[in-house]
Amino acid sequence: MATAAIPQPVAAILPRHVAIIMDGNGRWAAARRMPRAMGHRAGVEAVRTVTRAARALGIEALTLYAFSSENWRRPAEEIGGLMKLLKLFIRNDLAELVRENVRLRVLGDYRRFPEDVVALIDDALARTAGNSGPILAIALNYGAQAELVEAARALAERAATGAIDPASIDADAIEAQLATRDLPPLDLMIRTSGEQRLSNFLLWQAAYAELLFVDTLWPDFGADELAAAVEAFGQRQRRYGGL
């Protein structure tokens, strides 16, 4: 089957690491008088499209906020549907990720998920561990505040045993404890659906990232929208506190 051409951005500077808060599945479904589950299903198709587009554009790492630690507050039926879609995505797309040399990463405590989901994730991570190409990181049962608490606790325990001097703890020491420690620095964070907040996602990593909030609902966010976001990034002036 022929693949649609991926539009190329005008930007001369590509972000190495792009993160996306995938928002708007429910509103997409509601606007079409469909069940929320249909919005999540359409959102999975958008994940497939955007991950392929990111590879075609040459983005080194793509991180997707798929399931936050706060999403457990949703109805059990919806959570169950999301677990089924996650399993379906792994089963349908793992072979392509392996073939395309993609390294799959998971941020967050996914071991709270059902055993069959955990087994599929473990297998996917193992089968892509030796790949050397672009990184696809999926945030599952992830919360940035919990990530920072865990980092602080780990450093405090090492300091308490005398393994490190508390005075030596700096930003690099904290970053070394984060789930993203082997990913490139975050360059661009995108949130779809018009909402303008970070929702406990990569709070430390976003310190100097460029933020882009777009009105497009996630199921409608595709290759063109990603290319436009990358082009907008290329037009930003990143001063990091300087002139």
- Three-state DSSP state, 17: strand
Q: Under a CB-based contact definition with an 8 Å cutoff, are residues 139 and 147 in contact?
A: no
204 annotated as belonging to a binding site for a ligand: no
Which DSSP state fits 110? G
Is 111 annotated in some ligand binding site? no
| Helix extents (H) in 142-195 | 144-160, 171-175
Q: Which residues contact 3 (CB under 8 A, 6 or more apart)?
A: 52
Which of 71, 131, 200, 220 is flagged as catalytic?
71
The annotation status of 28 as a binding-site residue, yes or no, is yes
Ligand-binding site membership of 69 (annotated): yes
Give Cβ neighbours of residue 141 (< 8 Å, ≥ 6 apart).
67, 68, 69, 71, 72, 108, 109, 110, 112, 113
Contact 49, 89 (CB under 8 A): no
Find out whether 99 is annotated in a ligand binding site. no
Contacts of 161 (CB under 8 A, 6+ apart): none
Query: Does residue 210 have a known ligand-binding role?
Result: yes
72 annotated among ligand-binding-site residues: yes
DSSP character at residue 227:
H
Known binder of ligand: residue 198? Answer: yes
Q: Residue 70 annotated as binding?
A: yes
Q: Is 19 helix (H, G, I), strand (E, B) or coil?
A: strand
Q: Could you tell me if 214 and 225 are in contact, meaning their C-beta atoms sit under 8 angstroms apart?
A: yes
Residue whose tokens read 């499209």: 49
**68 annotated ligand binder:** yes
Q: For residue 92, indicate whether it is catalytic.
A: no
Residue 165 assigned ligand-binding role: no
Q: Is 23 annotated as a binding residue?
A: yes
Identity of the amino acid at 192? T
105 belongs to an annotated ligand binding site: no
Which is catalytic among the residues 23, 93, 141, 187? 23
Q: Which residue numbers are catalytic?
A: 23, 71
Residue ranges at the known binding site for Mg(2+): 23, 210
Residue ranges at the known binding site for substrate: 24-28, 36, 40, 68-70, 72, 74, 191, 197-199
Residue ranges at the known binding site: 23-28, 36, 40, 68-70, 72, 74, 191, 197-199, 210
